Structure 1
Amino acid sequence: MSETAADGPALDLAGQWDQVRGDAHRAIQRTEQAIEKADTGLADRRGELDRARGRALTGHADWRAREVDNLLSLARAALGPRWSLWEEAERHETGPASEASVAEVSAAAALAELALAVRRLKSPLRRKRRWVAVAVAAVRRCDDLIARSEANAARQWQEGMRAATRSRNEAVEDARRGWRHDLAQLRRTVDALRAELDAAIPPADADWSAWHPVSRPVDALRVGTYSRRGCEGEPLAVPALFPFPGTTNLVVRAGRGVPGRADAVLGVVGRMLASVPAGRLRLSVIDPIALGSAVRSLAGLNSDDVRLMDDPLVRPQEIENKLTELVERIGRVDRDLLGPHRLGSLVEFNRRPGARPEPYHVVVVFDFPRGFTTPESRTRLDQVMLNGPRCGVYTILVIAEDNPDYPHHLAMGEDGQVTTGPAILAPAGVGEWTFELERPPASSWEASDVLRTVVDRVADEARDADRVVVTPKRMFDLLPVATRPELGGIAGVERPVRPRDPSTWWQGDATESLAIPLGTYGLDDLMIMRLGDGTRNHVMIAGMTGAGKSTLLHTLITVAAVLYSPAELELYLIDMKQGVEFQEYARHRLPHARVVAMHSQREFGLETMRTLTAEIERRAALFKRYKAADLAGYRRARAEAGASTGVGAGADADADADADDPPLARVLLVVDEFHVLFDADDEIGRDAAGRLATLVRMGRAYGVHVLLASQTPSSPVAMGSDAVRNMEIRIALRCHDQVSRRILAENNPAATELAPRGEAIYNASSGQRGRDTKFQVAYVETADRAALLDTFRALAQSRGLLLEPLVYDGDRPGDITSGVFAGLANARRDPAAPLRAWLGEPLGLSAPVHTDFSARADRALLAIGDDAANVGVLTAVCASLAAAGVGRGEGRLAAVSVVDFTAVDQRYTEVHDELATLLPGLRRYGAADALEHVGELAELVEKRTMNDSYTVDLVDDCRFLLLNGLHRCRGIAAAPSWSGGAAGLGVPLDYLLREGPEVGVFVVATIDGNGLRRVHRDILNQFGVVLTRQRPQQYDRVDALSGLATNRLRDGQALLNDDGDVTGLRPYQIPPAGWLAAFARGLPPHPRGSEPSS
């Protein structure tokens, strides 16, 4: 697809974000300069004030030294030896008062007074003491004058500093206010640009699940983040973009010991793939040391139908050859595309309206100069790096040391830090920013979903551009009609089959074989899978994820259902993985399907195999009656018997032959991800291998065919080599070498060379080399398949062929309301039979799981689970007992009692109320009354036990004690034995558990899985029937929990250990409100098969 003007101009994302960085830098610079100017002004003013204050202090010091200290020297000389008078006067705080106040005294007056006192001291006739006091007072006044002057200077300095600081703060605040305004504007710009950028180039930590390749180049790579702090410490971060496709290369300096260097390059390559439309980027990798391991996650770009990447180049000669090829390509682009149009780059050419875009090419060179062993190879690299970007050829060069010829853009250190180098990623002059390389949420780009998504979807869109889709209509158009199978036809198909015309469906006759078209090969030849043709009866299919295995299975099932009616073909569809591949066949009730299983467990797969081996045995009995060797012989003999005048009058039929015997359809068992059955070397795996061997060995004669599909097939050892040998038809989609050799043959790796999706190999000779036929699998659109399934259902109903498939969902809990429980519970019961409690749905095809309460030891039931699950078990038990007549009818109302140890606010009140309707005589006790009630039952047991002639009638005489939340009972953790003091509940309960079942008194208890340690193991070990949910072994009863693999169970599943017999089940959950009451209303007044005792 070429770009047109309608696509709009390419986004100049790199330029826009460079502008943002520049704007941010200039705003920060303006603010910092304004703050610096204010700080400088404050510092200048401080200097001025400091100097003025210093001058004042110096003047005062000089004045005192010059005037005061001189007079003091004269006074000392005048006093001579009587200087002590001066010292004495100084010790007095005050001297003779001056005629003027201190405030009015000037420096001159103080000096004059001091000078007068000095002169008087010189006179021998004067009183020395008086004039010493006057002189001292004068000195003090001089010092006071100096102090007041200095204080005034300090005050002036402080006032000046306050004014200067205020002026500085106002300037700083103005600058910061401007910065905040600039920052707000910057953030608005960043938010707007980021939204635009995220839409065009999502960040690595975004959800890429909905990403699709762009329709036009976005001209930038999002390689990381630039970050710095704002003027007030705010974190600023903007994406780091590298222009691509542009006019430059990318050079990375990183030694081989630097962790993550190859992964970083891988991330850049992934970004390159995501920045241009799918198919417009080619990739070459030169990796002479690691041999291409760094780009192994890009393998999806290199396949038979998508050649976006060359095989890694590791040898010097092939490196030089590739560079020579690129140099020639550069010359061709320059000569043929750019020159005639006077264009500066291939980017400009590709943007021209009407141009057929020329793909870009990226060459990645690891560990340069390793592998460049000749001057010619280095010259070719120089030519590519110098001329390539202009002509759409770009180089990612990884060097170990600085190289002046190749200045690097990024430098990766051994500490994992990445810095920019002399070859910058953006225009200069935008300030100091810290660079951080972009990383995905996963541990590496190689392991990230982002790269996987990009590679897969780029390859898919590039592949689909030339992809040919084979539709069912195309296949049926190629199908010859009224043609014998050996000539390419399908038995029974006499008219053209039209997928949209149901009247043309179901023509196929499966008497001799099944023939199912799967796709086309060669020049419109039809690939038909034929089952029942000689020894070709069973199929193995393998294909890696995305290769088209699911498409193949859907095509096979849908096309078979178009060709054959449910009377000719029965399907057993089993999905062993946690998927929903077959869900739509259950939802639409495919009439051909006998079983549709989703989220299946190994037990269900094994149960299905057992069902089919039983079907083979049933057919063997029928064939024997008709003396038939295979399905075709049986059908013919049956037809002859029906056409004869008397039953069994056919020439070869036994006298027991009956014209009403079923015609028998062919059976196709489809198991997806069959390897799950054989993953473990355990009883299930061994049994499954044996059953598989039986099916593939005997199925041919009885019309039972097996199709096993998997991404990773089990080894022949696990499956059984005989079974594998008998599965002659092998279908391989693209897969790894080991899988190809397993699904085809040891010497046949051909499946590794298939296209990534939709191309397959059909080999009907056990996969032997030289017998492969490559074909394109047909594809049925999802909407078309849904419409066909709806029509199948309507057509079957119109022909009276409507059968309901058994649908199994391993993740769905047991449903007591489905109708199956009611049918089983209300079935006529033999009065002598044990009381049967239906506990849940099976993990297979058998009837719901039950346990029997009979007059023998070890018939107590323990359910281990959470409160809701345990109440569901108790509900099922009560409903089963009520259906048998226990607790209903005359003389039986006291048969069932419940002791609930759970907290009042945690009880299921609505369930209890409905149980009272179901069991009118149901007695309920709290924890306080438990000991008394259990003691009464223990006395009843003792009384019956002491009566040697007592015979229990289970319906009339039984007693059921239901203990909900037994682990919450006080004292139950103690050993159940007398110890000289008052006995707790454990003693009578232990007696009930040991002796009660044999005289018709049964205990059903529930505990939380975490409460096992709160119940003494001697009591736990008395329970012979244990239902446990996801709990490993917790106590020591060998035939109860020891060794049960309950850790494999899913939610809603459990194991029932009934006296050593272990059965998986999905226990019934609590029914919706009203169901128990409705169930009770439907019960007969008395149990069927017996009358109430008098």
Structure 2
Amino acid sequence: MPSHREAVVAAIRQELAEARGAARAVLAAAETARGEAQQRRGLVRDAYATCLNQLAEARDAARRDIQRRYENESAKLASNVRRLAAISATGAAGTPWRMWTPTEPEPGSRPGLLRVGTLTIDDTALLPALVPLLDIAHVNLSGDQRTIDGIITGLLLRALGSTRPGQVHLTVYDPEHLGGTLAPFAPLGVISFVGPGGLGAMLDELVEHICRINETVLAGGPPVDSWRVIVLLADAAAAAELTQAQRAQLDRVCRTGVSCGVHLIVRGVDLVDHPTVHRLAVREGIAYSQATGELEIRLDPPPPAEQVAAFCRATAERLRAGPPPARFADLEPAEYWAESSAHGLAAPIGDTTDGTLIEVPLGDDPPHALIGGPSGSGKTNLLYAWLAALATRYGPEELALYLLDFKEGVSFARFVPGPRDPAWLPQVRLAGINVNADREFGLAMLRHLGEELRQRAQAAKRFDASKLSELRGEDPDGHWPRIVAVIDEFQVLLTGRDAVADEAVALLEDLARRGRSQGIHLVLASQDVSGIEALWGRSGLIGQFTLRIALPKARRILAEDNLAAALIPRFHAVVNAQSGASGANVVVRLPDAGDRLVWRTLQRRLWRSRPAGCEEPRLFDGDAVPRLPSSCRPSGPVPPPSAPIGNSPGAVLGERIDVAARPARLRLGRMPGRNLAVLGTRIDEACDVLASAALSLAAQGPAHFSIVCPDPDAGRHAARLIAELPSADWRDDLPGEEFLDVPHYVIGYTLDAFADHTMLRKLLAEGPERRTHVLGWWRSAGRLRDGLGGPGARLDPIGAWVALDVHGSDLAPLYPHPGGPVWYPRTRRALFFDRSVHRTPEVIIPYEVNSDHT
């Protein structure tokens, strides 16, 4: 048995072994923990390193993005500056010298900035450097004298090349070189040089000029459209010699000149500090501008002296030739037919010297226009320009045109369909050409307008409207366009003391007085109104024409003390909306509007855009002979409902001179006197009247015709007629008492050739009641009277007659009023009188029926 000591030792050894085991376990755990910690520290280090790398990459990316953004913003800013520079200095104001040419400014535009060089932002951005001058600032330069003189030469050339010739006048004060510094500008024609002793007088004159401009602008005058540029080339000695008075005047010009179109370009003298003073400093070939701050300006080289001199010579030639006419295309609006005529019409006829379009109004005030100018002054051209401007702004629903030309020409023929061009101006309702011998057509047009005025007045009364704008507002479904009636050489219509002139004056006066409120406007054009007898004592008529347009050398259009028309050059006109009073003149440059090709192109464009239902206009050509309509021939269709025949057959004798081109008809009923006498010696026209009457009667139903022709000269006409009639017989003498079941018409050629007129008198007296009518031709009124019984015979059996080359006094026996009608025979015109219808005869145009070429 072990001893106690051994047991204790064993126990201690056991505890030591356990302690060593526990220590080893603790050491093992510590090693494990240490490994894990090291591993964790490695992970942290790796994560930190990763974050640093990411931060570095992010920082580098941010730097690159900032650089990109900077570069993008810089490029965008440079692009904006270039774009602004291109807008601010267009054409000759900003083009480099190697590509430089003078340019005309757009109409109504104002001057911009002028290029002097380039701005360098970095190695890639080169931007135009611009300085202000016209309408904006004075330019004060300091630094190297030779460099400054080159800058001034460039500024002047750019200012002159970007404005119209004559708009900029130069004054040069150059005491050191006596004007030689700017010698290349000497041929310009709008430049003056001031000698060394003339500075004070020049400054005084500038101050007076500024005072006059201020007075004009304050009084409501036109804005400044021309400029005076004063170039002061002084050195230090000349600047020191300025007197106190001269310095004061220079300061006044500096403060007030820009608003009055006076600008200073000064070298060697410091101008007073003012917002209108722009300073440009030059140091060692580099300029610094007040507008660009510290940015350096690399100056452009001065333009070559040969280029300056060539430009000045060309400009001087243009000034001597005078301003060219305005462009026809400038009168057209951006959009066709976009305007409303409810409150009036306004359209340009030309422009001013600065290109501003001048609109001519027609409405409540002024309501009517009077145009005057001698032959060759351009009245027709002016009317073309005005009509083009109106037709492109107002569509056919807004404007209706009535055109009448009493000249021996075809000025308005281009606006209606022609043999080579079917297009027409959609706004035209009627056009009359070659009507100098047909005043009756002018009267017919005035009657038509008078009827239109009556209808509009009645409509306005129904809607309680006092003017056209109110009527259109109250009756939006109505068709109420404004009407413009143009009458060229209107004095022809009013010439003489006869019934046509009296009625025409009365109608014109009524239209002028009441037309303004109903949207009817008159435009009268004439070479001279001084000799119009019909207007004597009718100042109220001319007084309605408050819009006056005077062409060069026009007389009696403007007021007697207004001499503007005598001073204007060709292609110009004076527009005055205050009855020609002095002080209301506007001088307008007129375009060349007579080019047929340009007009045809414009008219075709408008014609293709015409609305549905736009009717073809009526053309009356006084030189054209109308043909017998196909509806008036036996083989033609039944006459349209618009021209009813009625119960009595109607013989068509010719075309009436009216707006509707209606035929003149003679009713042949069962009443006494329903016979026709054609009087005159013009065989072709007399035979055409008989043929048109016979053929039109044959087209209306069953009838029989007896053709009587004792004259062999008329035989060919009679033969052609009988060949076309469905039921006819040729007779050598008059028919007896033959009674037919259908109307019987005796067509007699040269009935005065018969020796015995007994049967003729019997037919004339008794035939109409039995539906037998005589339509005969007598070669004079005297022969007709002789055939009916002599000087004392009653002519009642002749109820209607057509007179050809028979004077009015010879027709007295056939006329119910003493003395006979007022009638002056002319070719292809006849005087028609039907006792049962007419109070006074009417002029007709015999149709062309069976002439040789038909």
Give me the TM-score of the superposition, normalised by structure 1. 0.44
- Which residue among 766, 777, 799 is the counterpart of 1:995? 766
Distance in 1 (CA, whole Å) between partners of 2:788 and 2:816 is: 12
- Which residue among 363, 367, 370 is the counterpart of 1:540? 370
Equivalent position of 1:159 in the other structure: none
**Residues 579, 1048 of structure 1: alpha-carbon distance in 2 compared, 3 angstrom cutoff:** farther
**Residues 1025, 712 of structure 1: alpha-carbon distance in 2 compared, 3 angstrom cutoff:** same
Equivalent position of 1:1066 in the other structure: 845
Equivalent position of 2:666 in the other structure: 851
Equivalent position of 1:765 in the other structure: 578
Q: What is the one-letter code of the residue matched to 2:705? A: V
- Tell me if structure 2 keeps the 8 A contact 1:531–1:705: yes
**Residues 1009, 792 of structure 1: alpha-carbon distance in 2 compared, 3 angstrom cutoff:** farther
Distance in 2 (CA, whole Å) between partners of 1:563 and 1:760 is: 22
- Tell me if structure 1 keeps the 8 A contact 2:631–2:639: no
1:1047 equivalent to 2:854? Answer no
1:531 equivalent to 2:332? Answer no
* Deviation by residue 1:292-343 (Cα, 9 ceiling, x = unmatched): xxxxxxxxxxxxxxxxxxxxxxxxxxxxxxxxxxxxxxxxxxxxxxxxxxxx
**Residues 1018, 1024 of structure 1: alpha-carbon distance in 2 compared, 3 angstrom cutoff:** farther
Distance in 1 (CA, whole Å) between partners of 2:489 and 2:788 is: 42
Matches within 5 A, 1:98-177: none
Equivalent position of 2:397 in the other structure: 567
- Which residue among 941, 962, 969 is the counterpart of 2:747? 962
Distance in 2 (CA, whole Å) between partners of 1:1066 and 1:718 is: 27
**Residues 761, 575 of structure 1: alpha-carbon distance in 2 compared, 3 angstrom cutoff:** same
* 1:825 CA displacement: 3.8
Residue aligned with 1:567, SS = coil
Distance in 1 (CA, whole Å) between partners of 2:518 and 2:511 is: 10
Distance in 1 (CA, whole Å) between partners of 2:747 and 2:695 is: 13
Equivalent position of 1:599 in the other structure: 434
Equivalent position of 2:567 in the other structure: 753
Gap runs ≥5 in structure 1: 1-460, 477-496, 499-503, 640-658, 888-894, 941-954, 972-983, 1076-1094
Which of 1032-1041 and 724-733 deviates more?
1032-1041
* Deviation by residue 1:572-611 (Cα, 9 ceiling, x = unmatched): 0011122111111123422111001111221111110110
Distance in 1 (CA, whole Å) between partners of 2:714 and 2:777 is: 18
1:774 equivalent to 2:630? Answer no
Equivalent position of 1:132 in the other structure: none
Q: What is the one-letter code of the residue matched to 1:760? A: A
- Which residue among 627, 632, 651 is the counterpart of 1:815? 627
Aligned residues: 515
Equivalent position of 1:1037 in the other structure: 813
- Tell me if structure 2 keeps the 8 A contact 1:626–1:634: yes
Distance in 1 (CA, whole Å) between partners of 2:506 and 2:472 is: 29
Distance in 2 (CA, whole Å) between partners of 1:1047 and 1:1016 is: 25
**Residues 1072, 679 of structure 1: alpha-carbon distance in 2 compared, 3 angstrom cutoff:** closer
* 1:632 CA displacement: 1.2
Equivalent position of 2:552 in the other structure: 734
Equivalent position of 1:626 in the other structure: 463
The two structures, once aligned, show a CA RMSD in angstroms of 3.1
Distance in 1 (CA, whole Å) between partners of 2:515 and 2:405 is: 21
* Deviation by residue 1:199-236 (Cα, 9 ceiling, x = unmatched): xxxxxxxxxxxxxxxxxxxxxxxxxxxxxxxxxxxxxx
* Deviation by residue 1:675-702 (Cα, 9 ceiling, x = unmatched): 0111111111111111011111111111
* 1:1013 CA displacement: 8.1
Distance in 2 (CA, whole Å) between partners of 1:831 and 1:749 is: 60
Distance in 2 (CA, whole Å) between partners of 1:812 and 1:830 is: 26
Residue aligned with 1:584, SS = helix
Residue aligned with 1:936, SS = coil
Distance in 2 (CA, whole Å) between partners of 1:732 and 1:672 is: 14
- Which residue among 328, 348, 360 is the counterpart of 1:472? 328
Equivalent position of 1:65 in the other structure: none
Residue aligned with 2:604, SS = helix
**Residues 761, 466 of structure 1: alpha-carbon distance in 2 compared, 3 angstrom cutoff:** closer
Equivalent position of 2:679 in the other structure: 864
1:1024 equivalent to 2:840? Answer no
Q: What is the one-letter code of the residue matched to 1:629? A: S
Equivalent position of 2:737 in the other structure: 936
Equivalent position of 2:833 in the other structure: 1057
Residue aligned with 2:574, SS = strand
Distance in 1 (CA, whole Å) between partners of 2:571 and 2:692 is: 50
Distance in 1 (CA, whole Å) between partners of 2:641 and 2:700 is: 9
1:590 equivalent to 2:425? Answer yes
Residue aligned with 2:687, SS = helix
Q: What is the one-letter code of the residue matched to 1:1052? A: R
* Deviation by residue 1:391-433 (Cα, 9 ceiling, x = unmatched): xxxxxxxxxxxxxxxxxxxxxxxxxxxxxxxxxxxxxxxxxxx
- Tell me if structure 2 keeps the 8 A contact 1:675–1:714: no
* Deviation by residue 1:124-143 (Cα, 9 ceiling, x = unmatched): xxxxxxxxxxxxxxxxxxxx
Q: What is the one-letter code of the residue matched to 2:743? A: C
Residue aligned with 1:1064, SS = strand
Equivalent position of 2:652 in the other structure: 838
1:556 equivalent to 2:386? Answer yes
- Which residue among 729, 748, 755 is the counterpart of 1:923? 729
User: Percent identity, aligned pairs only?
Assistant: 27
Q: What is the one-letter code of the residue matched to 2:762? A: Y
Equivalent position of 2:303 in the other structure: none
Q: What is the one-letter code of the residue matched to 1:854? A: G
Gap runs ≥5 in structure 2: 1-316
Residue aligned with 1:527, SS = strand
Residue aligned with 2:745, SS = strand
**Residues 524, 881 of structure 1: alpha-carbon distance in 2 compared, 3 angstrom cutoff:** same
Residue aligned with 2:588, SS = strand
Q: What is the one-letter code of the residue matched to 2:424? A: R
Equivalent position of 2:205 in the other structure: none
Distance in 2 (CA, whole Å) between partners of 1:714 and 1:844 is: 29
* Deviation by residue 1:934-981 (Cα, 9 ceiling, x = unmatched): x335xx6xxxxxxxxxxxxxx955332111122333x2xxxxxxxxxx
Q: What is the one-letter code of the residue matched to 1:746? A: E
Distance in 1 (CA, whole Å) between partners of 2:788 and 2:318 is: 66
Matches within 5 A, 1:998-1009: 998-1008=769-779
Matches within 5 A, 1:475-490: 475-476=331-332
* 1:1024 CA displacement: 2.4
1:674 equivalent to 2:482? Answer no
* Deviation by residue 1:478-501 (Cα, 9 ceiling, x = unmatched): xxxxxxxxxxxxxxxxxxx35xxx
Residue aligned with 2:484, SS = strand
1:608 equivalent to 2:445? Answer yes
Q: What is the one-letter code of the residue matched to 1:610? A: R
- Tell me if structure 2 keeps the 8 A contact 1:472–1:559: no
* 1:823 CA displacement: 7.2
Distance in 2 (CA, whole Å) between partners of 1:830 and 1:591 is: 30
- Which residue among 310, 333, 338 is the counterpart of 1:507? 338
Which of 620-629 and 686-695 deviates more?
620-629
Distance in 1 (CA, whole Å) between partners of 2:320 and 2:773 is: 68
**Residues 468, 872 of structure 1: alpha-carbon distance in 2 compared, 3 angstrom cutoff:** same
Equivalent position of 2:410 in the other structure: 580
- Tell me if structure 1 keeps the 8 A contact 2:683–2:714: no
**Residues 1007, 526 of structure 1: alpha-carbon distance in 2 compared, 3 angstrom cutoff:** same
- Which residue among 701, 706, 710 is the counterpart of 1:901? 710
- Tell me if structure 1 keeps the 8 A contact 2:717–2:850: no
**Residues 539, 1035 of structure 1: alpha-carbon distance in 2 compared, 3 angstrom cutoff:** closer
Give me the TM-score of the superposition, normalised by structure 2. 0.56
- Tell me if structure 2 keeps the 8 A contact 1:591–1:801: no
- Tell me if structure 2 keeps the 8 A contact 1:841–1:1066: yes
Distance in 2 (CA, whole Å) between partners of 1:715 and 1:908 is: 46
